Each structure stands twice: as C-alpha cells, then as structure tokens.
A and B are shown apart, each in its own frame.
Chain A
Amino acid sequence: MAGKQGASLDRQKFFADPILVTTIVVLIAFLTLFILYPLAILLVDSFVTDKGFTLDVFRRIMGMHNFRTAITNTLRVGFLVGILSALIGLLFAYVEVYVKLRTAFMGGLFKVVSMLPVVSPPFVLSLSMIMLFGKAGIITRFLLHIYDNNVYGFWGIAIVQTMTFFPVCYMMMRGLLKNIDPSLEEAARDMGASRWKVFTTVTLPLVLPGLGNAFLVTFIESIADFANPMIIGGSYDTLATTIYLQITGAYDKEGASAMAVVLLCITLIMFIAQKYWLEAKSTATLSGKASRQRMLITDRSVTVPLTILCSLMALFVIMMYICVPFGALFKTWGYDFHLTTKWFNQVFVRYKGLKAFKDSFMLSLIASPITALLSMIISYLVVKRNFKTKGFIEAVSMLAMAVPGTVLGIGYIRGFSAGVFRTGFLKSLYGTGAILVIVFIVRSLPTGTRSGISALRQIDKSIEESAYDMGADSFKVFMTVTLPLIKDSFLSGLVTAFVRSITAISAIILLVTPQFLLITVQINEFAEKGSYGIACAFATILIAITYASVLLMNLVIKFFGTSRTITES
C-alpha cells in the first residue's frame, strides 16, 4: 500500500509532540473511566448474575407493574412536553424575528425568558407551581376558591417541564429563523400568497427539521429530568424517579441497574436520531447569513394577538420565578402573608445553610474551570487536529449528553463503590468530594464541548497552521492562539459549568454522602417534606448565586472578551 509512508510520517510527527500525546492519553483514560466504564458496568450488572449471563433481571423488572407504568408515564410526558415546548419555542422565536415589537418592555421580556434556562435551578418551577396552584396555592385557593386542586401528577409535570424547557427551543428556533433569507418569503408574498400561506408553505417547511430537532432535544431532557417529577409527580412515577426509589428505597441494585439500562436505551435512540438525522438536516437546509434586513410584520391584526399571547406566557413564567423569594418571606404560605425572615434564619441557624452553600459553592468552583478547560481542549482536538482516536473522544464526550443523570449516578454507585470492577482500585474515591466534582465535570462537559466546537469551527484553520509553521508546538499554539480566540466561549463555558454544577441534582443525589450538604439536595429534601418556606429560602439564595455569576460573566466578557478587541476598530 502506497499510502503507508505518509501515514507513518504523520504518526512520527504526532509522537514528536509529547504534550499532545500525553493530553490525548489522559483524556481517553478520563472519558473511558468516568463515562464509558460506569455505563458498561450497568450492562454487566443487569445481564450477568451468579448464574452467568441471564435475562432474569430484565424479566423481573419488566414483571413489575410500577416499572411498566413508569415507562409509559415517562414517554407520555416526554412526548407532550416535546411538542408543547417546540411549538411555544417557535411562537416566541417567530414573534421576535418577524413581528415588530412596539415597546422596549417586550424586548426585555424576551431577553429574560431566554436567560431563564441558564440561571434557573431545575426544580424551582415545581415549587412555585405547588405554591400557586396547589391545595394552598394563592391562585387556586385565594383567587378561585378551589380548595382541593391537585397539581401533582401528569399535568403538573408536563406544565412545569414545558415552562422549563421551552426557552431552549426558543433559542434554537430563533437561530434558524434568523438564517432564512427574507427574499424567499418576499418572493412568495409577491406571487400573491397571504401571510398565513407564506408561513405554512415557505417558513414552516424550512424550519420543520429544526422543529423536529427541538422536539427531540426536549424529549430527551424531559425523560432525563429527575427533580421535577420528584417534587410535583406525586404518585405519578417516571423512570428517573422509579430508578431512584428502586435503589434508595428497595436497595435493589441489580434491578435499578437494569432499569437504568432501559432508560439509557430510550435516550440513546432519541439522541442518535437527533444527532445524525435531524441535526444534519436542520443545518444543511439553512446556511449562510440573511442577505438583507427582514421587513417586520406591522399589521395590527397579526402583531397584537401574537404579542399579547407571548407576553402573557412570559409574564406567567416570570411570575413563577418571583413566587419563590416570596415563598421564603411569607410566614406560612397560603395562610399567613406577614413578611418574615424566619425561613432564612432557620436555613442558616438550624439547617447548616452556610455549610450547604460553602460545599455547593466550593465543589462547583473546583469543577467549573476543569470542565471549561477540558471542553476547550476536546474541541480543539476535534476541530483542529487529526489523529486516530479523535472519533472516540468526540463520540464519548457527546455520548455524555445522552446519559440521564440518574443513569450516571447508578453507574457510579455500581462502578466505584467497591472499586473499579470490584477490585478495590479507586475505591477510596467513592463517597468523597472528588467523585462529586467528577460528576459535575462529566455532566457539563458536553455543553461546553459543543459551544467550543462551534466557536472553533469559525476560526480559519490557517491561523493555527501559521503559528505552528512559525515554530510553536501544539501546547504553544493552543495557549497563544486557540484559547485567546475562543476566550468568550471559554468564559461562558466556565460560568455555564458552574451554574450547571451548583444546580445539579439527579446524579448527585445518589452519590452524596452526609459529610457534604448540597443546596439542591436540601431543597429537594425540604420540598419532599412539604417545608416550602425553607425550600424557597434555599432556592432563592441559589437563584441569586447563579444570577450573579451570569451577570459577572457578561461583565467580564464585555470588558476582557475577545470580541471586543476584534470588532472595535
């Protein structure tokens, strides 16, 4: 084979760069040990028992009535939430991109809505849903005088998840709509089509793959969601909560492992469909920038109803968030509306609030720079370098996106509680803060990597080649060229990782030991017990922390970001 010399020379050149080689080896070890191995051990656990390879465990769990119900429950919720979120997302995006918004107030509303998913802890909406519409809910009990409203169950989960996930769809659809060349629609208008006709025959077909993409992304999020079903699900169990109860309540480790495998399979199938089928389609149809400014719709019969609809929804979501700090300030929610600081007092005095914040804060603070750096390194390797194991690194770090936190948590329990492959190796890791930090990293890595990859793809390859050609090795190129150019992406990755870590719960709740008090776990505990005042007090401070860190990030990017020095002339 004539191509051999080139390949072997490439290999020689590759190994001439020890820092690069070491980085890749360490990276592969990390990904294998902390993403692949825990999932592999779940498979082993659920298929191999004392009697060797068997399907007994699966037969047993499939025989459980509540597990079968949990599967249908999960899929039903996921399906509905996926559809609702995608449609509401499209509505918001359409109004922002196509409709002339009259007031700055509306612009502000839209901005807040797009910010929410970044700063919001996952279960905040469940809390406020209960406080607004539950038995003691302000709206149900005091405004409507309904005393036995049941928010728990299917509709509770569906509404809360839709409100949590639709902003993500909104952001995705907004990007797509902005990329549509307005002349396509103008041409149809020019031919005599009505606005509605243009929407259904031009705009909608163009964004349909993207809409499908948004649906699947939300579907996966919904299925993997643990915190909301936990708090507002009541007796309506989903897969994530059933698995949790199976291991914490019934101590059935094999059963939980097998259930986790089932959940993983569902999300994996969805993920693969989304990744290889829709994602490619939704970017291929729409590329390049819009050629001209779009003529915004000013027709009142269109703008007024759409604006009102969006504002109402946005205000509703915002009201839900505002409800949380008030929940922490009222003496007894639903009965006594005197303002008090007793819940905050209790948080700090009785329930070691300070320690909880310190633990959450410190662990997240350790995890976020590692995550950000790691995801930038992975993006750099994936986009800019060529080597054999590149496909593996890319695939595994993306795979982590499809793994629900609960599944990962069970995997870590089974994989590390007795050491790697039950040999005792790395056993000491289990139950420490280190393993929590690792979970934080693994959970935030895919988002960081994704934003890193898209940032790097925009950078001309020859800039790095030029530096390489001038005598810089891979490490130097990464530090002096790549990293400075994607500084914004790095900074936002840093904060996203921090926020994701400090608000994480699904995997963490399975792995946390009493020596660590984490805010999210506390909120979950008090909400479960019905102590909403304390749960709200914890949540309020959590929101404050996340919001402050996002503000800080924007400030830092504004003053030190690359885009400023590059665009300012």
Chain B
Amino acid sequence: MAKEKKGVRLDHISKIYKDPKTKKDFYAVHDTSLTIEPGSFVTLLGPSGCGKTTTLRMIAGFESPDEGEIYLGEEPINALTPNKRDTAMVFQSYALLPHYNIFDNVAYGLKLRKMDKATIQKKVTDILALVGLEGMEARMTNQLSGGQQQRVALAHALVPEPGVLLFDKPLSNLDAKLRVSMRTEIRRIQQEAGITAVYVTHDQSEAMAISDRIIIMEKGVVAQMGTPQEIYYHPTSEFVADFIGEANFLRGKACQSSGGKTVVEVEGNKIELPGSLPVGKDCTLVLRPEGAVVADAGQLPCTVTLSCFMGSYQNYHAMVGNTLVKITDFNPKNKKIYEVGDKAFIAFEPESVHVLAGG
C-alpha cells in the first residue's frame, strides 16, 4: 500500500453520557490523551464499561467528544462525519451487506469513491488474495463461515486504503480456536499492509498476542500504556497487574534499604529484593503465579491448601500467613508434588517480584 500511514492523537478527550436511571451525567471517557504512532498496532484493553469502545467510536466519528480534540495525522477531525474521515472500522458483527456477494461487499467503498471498473476489479482481487479468500467473489455472505465473514469484513475495511484501521472486538463472535488463528492473521495482514491499527478487546491474551502497544483503560481513564512486556512485568497499579494475567498481591513494609537492595517484611518474614524503597513505607509485592514454585526451602513458609494436576502444570494454592498465593508449577512430571496440608516454602527469584508503592 503506497499511501502514507497516519497516526492518531487524542488530546484531552472526554465523553459525557447521561445515566438513564439516575439522570446524572457521568464520564464515559475522562481527559484521555493518547498518541498512536503511524503504522503501529495499538490495543485498547479493559473490562466492559471502561470507555474503550466509546474512544474507538469517537475516532471513527460515530460519537462526538465533549472535551478535547482528535487528530488524524496532523488534521483535527472533531467536526468531520464518519464518511469524511480517513478511517475504516471492522465491526464485531462483521456488518456485511446480506444482499451483496463478497465482491460487491468488498468493492462497496471503492464504488463510493467512483473508481473505474478495472481498478476496482484488480484491487478487490488483490485484497481477497491477501485475506485468503481467492475465488470466493461470487459467494453470498451467508455461504461463508464465521472466520471467512471476518476476513471479508477485514478486506472491506482495508481495500479503500484508509489512514487508520479500527477494530471493534472483531473476534468475539468466533470460537476459541478460530480466535487464536484469526488474531495471528490480523496481525500478519496489518503488517503486510503497513497500516495503523487501533483495536478494542476485553481479551487480554488477544491484546498481548497482537499489539505493539497496549492501552489499559479503567472507568474512562487510561490506567497504563506500554508494550505487552512492560505492562505484564511492570504494572503500575494493582488493577493493571490483576487485569493482565494473574497476580498475587503480598502486603509488606520496607524495613531497610541500602546499596540498591531493600528488605521487605511480609507476613513476619523478611525478603531481600533488588531496588530501593523509602524505609518504613507500606508496599505491595506483585508475584506472578508462574514466577514462583513450592519447594522445601524458600523465602516464604506456607501451608498448601489446594494441589491440582492440570496436565501441563500443577496448580497450587498456599497460605502465607493470611494471604492466599496461587502458584502454577510448569512441567510437574519429575517434580515433588505437595499435597494439601503440607508445610512448605514459596521460592522465587527476587527479580521476578514487582513492587508497587502503597499497601
């Protein structure tokens, strides 16, 4: 695609809705500023009602922001209607026209741009090849499987070469296996087309697999943005840590800090961690279930309360004082298995603990 890639910039965007029951205004999106680099794949992730879809629909133009300005490239687009914006959306329900065949569905946007027949023919054929639907031009939409319909929707959005491609939970109507293969497909196609993509989902593994950057939203505000690794390993809040993957939270207090090391007291046990923290302050340790094991020796003494064989891993629940810690111990075949009631220790690399200030 020869066309220039466009970035998207949201400058202090807010959207206010009226609650139908209480008649009170509330912020669906509040003072959100984002920059989406040209050509990158960015995912808006969050629980339902966090404002991610509203943000996407504001970029598309279906909703108008109550505060702030949206830029597409350098151009402010607040006042433009959706049909005048250089964006194309892939909808959750695919939104294919049931009275058109595949060719006409894909060609719809091109016909609106009054291109000549030969160009349309070529572009549609090319794009159908890209999404893997060669030779299906004459089929009707109801003769396709869900995954194929999704490909048509993608082709339909890609073919007019929009500056930005928007995805509104495109895979949520597909079954689990197809979801996994389609997300790889979408990523591949986006890379080949070299197009800027903004993707909305509530599925964290989808977000991790597909994105260059993830933006986590909570109650209308951005909770954190960063690469999938940044967000997974260095969450800035318990919400983010909990939403992306699974996490154990251990309340602690820093008792001494020197030479780039800090000793933290957790449930009466002292653990040494890298980094420095203000002495005497509360903190929270984030420990991923796969970042620790149950062992005969380790940092935290515990009692096993659940031990469950899951095939590829052994699933443990262990009590450390009054805190429940979940642990997944991978490849348990040749390891010692602890039973419920066993006294043991939780062992982990100090580097795999992420420390959040506050408790």
Name the interface residues of B107-144: CB closer than 8 Å to any CB of A: 108-109, 112-113, 140, 142-143
Binary flags per residue of A543-569, CB closer than 8 Å to B gives 1, else 0: 000000000000000000010011101
The answer to whether A4 touches B81 (Cβ under 8 A) is no
The answer to whether B14 touches A2 (Cβ under 8 A) is yes
Q: In whole angstroms, what is the CA distance A468 to B85 when docked? A: 10
A16 interfacial contact with B, CB 8 Å = yes
Name the interface residues of B203-217: CB closer than 8 Å to any CB of A: none
Please pick, from B79, B84, B93, B140, the residue contacting A9 in the complex, using a CB distance under 8 A: B79
Binary flags per residue of A455-482, CB closer than 8 Å to B gives 1, else 0: 0000010110111111111001000110
Q: In whole angstroms, what is the CA distance A467 to B88 when docked? A: 10
A-side contacts of B156, CB under 8 Å: 466, 470
The answer to whether A467 touches B108 (Cβ under 8 A) is yes
The answer to whether B66 touches A4 (Cβ under 8 A) is yes
A235 interfacial contact with B, CB 8 Å = no
Given known A460-B95, A466-B95, contact A5–B79 (CB-CB < 8 A): no
A485 interfacial contact with B, CB 8 Å = yes
Give the interface segment out of B56-64, B295-303, B317-325.
B56-64
A-side contacts of B112, CB under 8 Å: 470-472, 476
The answer to whether B60 touches A469 (Cβ under 8 A) is yes
Given known A466-B91, A469-B60, A473-B83, contact A6–B66 (CB-CB < 8 A): yes
Binary flags per residue of B80-106, CB closer than 8 Å to A gives 1, else 0: 111111011101110111110000000
Q: In whole angstroms, what is the CA distance A458 to B98 when docked? A: 13
B242 interfacial contact with A, CB 8 Å = no
The answer to whether B64 touches A10 (Cβ under 8 A) is yes
Nearest-Cβ distance from residue A455 to partner chain B, whole angstroms: 13
SS of A interface (majority): helix
Q: In whole angstroms, what is the CA distance A480 to B65 when docked? A: 29
The answer to whether B113 touches A5 (Cβ under 8 A) is no
A484 interfacial contact with B, CB 8 Å = yes
Nearest-Cβ distance from residue A477 to partner chain B, whole angstroms: 8
Q: In whole angstroms, what is the CA distance A2 to B209 when docked? A: 38
B67 interfacial contact with A, CB 8 Å = yes
B15 interfacial contact with A, CB 8 Å = yes
Please pick, from A12, A472, A566, the residue contacting B83 in the complex, using a CB distance under 8 A: A472
Tell me how many residues of B have a C-beta within 8 Å of chain A: 41
Please pick, from A460, A473, A484, A569, the residue contacting B140 in the complex, using a CB distance under 8 A: A569
Q: In whole angstroms, what is the CA distance A567 to B99 when docked? A: 10
Please pick, from A2, A567, A569, the residue contacting B16 in the complex, using a CB distance under 8 A: A2
A51 interfacial contact with B, CB 8 Å = no
Name the interface residues of A1-26: CB closer than 8 Å to any CB of B: 2-7, 9-10, 12-13, 16-17
The answer to whether B79 touches A471 (Cβ under 8 A) is no
Given known A466-B89, A566-B142, A569-B142, contact A9–B78 (CB-CB < 8 A): yes
Q: In whole angstroms, what is the CA distance A485 to B156 when docked? A: 19
A-side contacts of B88, CB under 8 Å: 469-470
Given known A2-B16, A471-B160, contact A17–B25 (CB-CB < 8 A): no
Please pick, from B80, B89, B113, the residue contacting A465 in the complex, using a CB distance under 8 A: B89
Nearest-Cβ distance from residue A461 to partner chain B, whole angstroms: 9
Name the interface residues of B136-192: CB closer than 8 Å to any CB of A: 140, 142-143, 156-157, 160
For this complex, 10 residue pairs linking A to B, each with C-beta atoms less than 8 Å apart, are A5-B65, A460-B93, A468-B82, A469-B82, A470-B88, A470-B112, A470-B157, A471-B113, A485-B99, A567-B142
**Residues of A at under 8 Å CB distance from B?**
2-7, 9-10, 12-13, 16-17, 460, 462-463, 465-473, 476, 480-481, 484-485, 562, 565-567, 569
